[in-house]
């Protein structure tokens, strides 16, 4: 079973539909839940991201999902974060104030400094920094769909899987370490390229 964390911050229907289609083709079930006991039954977890960093973290903490995520990744179980689901894995974010993240990775989440317009909305390319089960050099230059005003700035560059250039400002568009894979773009809105990424996660 694949668990999609619902922390009450937005519409998860498009993500659910995208992952369910792929899961069904591979005889797996998908459940959306904010119940920790239900999520513990999953073999893989997805943390999607809709909303502002502070609002998301407030909802996550209220439901003790931050503690669940820390314990999940510590066990070495497959985990995928999407958009704000990537951002909250870091120590701190500055969207509408200063907010503590889940703190899986050292680093911060900052607003675009030079690039305009903000938010960054639309298709953009990825550049593969290191190979992973999700991205290899063959994926260089592929397009994915982005919607964001903030991006992660890791202290440890070795976790960076891909980079993306938006109007001359280069940012981390995905990270990969052991059992953790997280992306800034929206795979559920990225057509075939996004479906390929979701399929790779489903098949782990």
pLDDT tens-place string over residues 143-162: 999 999 999 999 999 999 99
Who wins on pLDDT, 75 or 9?
Answer: 75
Catalytic residue among 37, 41, 83, 131: 83
For the domain spanning 2-202, the CATH number is 3.40.50.880
Domain boundaries of the chain, sorted by first residue:
2-202
Q: Would you state the torsion angle of the CA atoms of residues 181, 54, 104, 142, taken in this order, to the nearest 10 degrees?
A: 20
Whether residue 9 is predicted with pLDDT greater than 80 in this model: the reply is: no
pLDDT for residue 190:
97
120 annotated active-site: no
Q: Which residues contact 13 (CB under 8 A, 6 or more apart)?
A: none
Catalytic residue among 99, 120, 148, 186: 186
pLDDT in tens, 104-131: 999 999 999 999 999 999 999 999 999 9
83 annotated active-site: yes
pLDDT for residue 10:
63
pLDDT in tens, 15-45: 889 999 999 998 899 999 999 999 999 999 9
Rounded to 5 degrees, φ, ψ at 63 are -95, 5
pLDDT for residue 11:
65
pTM as predicted: 0.95
Instruction: Average the pLDDT over 70-83 and give the result.
Output: 98
Catalytic residue among 99, 108, 148, 188: 188
pLDDT for residue 118:
96
Rounded to 5 degrees, φ, ψ at 147 are -145, 100
Whether residue 136 is predicted with pLDDT greater than 70 in this model: the reply is: yes
Query: Please, are residues 9 and 59 in contact by the beta-carbon 8 Å criterion?
Result: yes
148 annotated active-site: no
Straight-line distance from the first to the last Cα atom of the chain, in angstroms, rounded to the nearest whole number: 12
For helices 13-25 and 191-202, the axis angle rounded to 10 degrees is: 60
């Amino acid at each position: 079973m694949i668990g999609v964390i619902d922390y009450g911050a937005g519409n998860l229907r498009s993500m659910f539909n995208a992952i369910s289609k792929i899961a069904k083709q591979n005889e797996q079930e998908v459940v959306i839940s904010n119940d920790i006991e239900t999520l513990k039954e999953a073999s893989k977890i997805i943390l999607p991201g809709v909303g502002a960093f502070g609002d998301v973290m407030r909802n996550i903490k209220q439901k003790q999902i931050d503690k669940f995520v820390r314990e999940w990744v510590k066990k070495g179980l497959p985990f995928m974060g999407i958009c704000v689901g990537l951002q909250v894995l870091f120590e701190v974010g500055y969207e509408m104030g200063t907010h503590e993240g889940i703190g899986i990775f050292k680093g911060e989440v900052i607003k675009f400094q030079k690039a305009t317009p903000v938010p960054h909305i639309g298709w953009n390319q990825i550049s593969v920094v290191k190979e992973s089960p999700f991205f290899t050099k063959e994926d260089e230059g592929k397009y994915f769909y982005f919607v964001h005003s903030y991006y992660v700035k890791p202290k440890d560059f070795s976790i960076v899987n891909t980079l993306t250039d938006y109007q001359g400002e280069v940012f981390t568009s995905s990270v990969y370490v052991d059992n953790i894979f997280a992306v800034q773009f929206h795979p559920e809105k990225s057509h075939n390229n996004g479906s390929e990424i979701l399929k790779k996660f489903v098949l782990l």
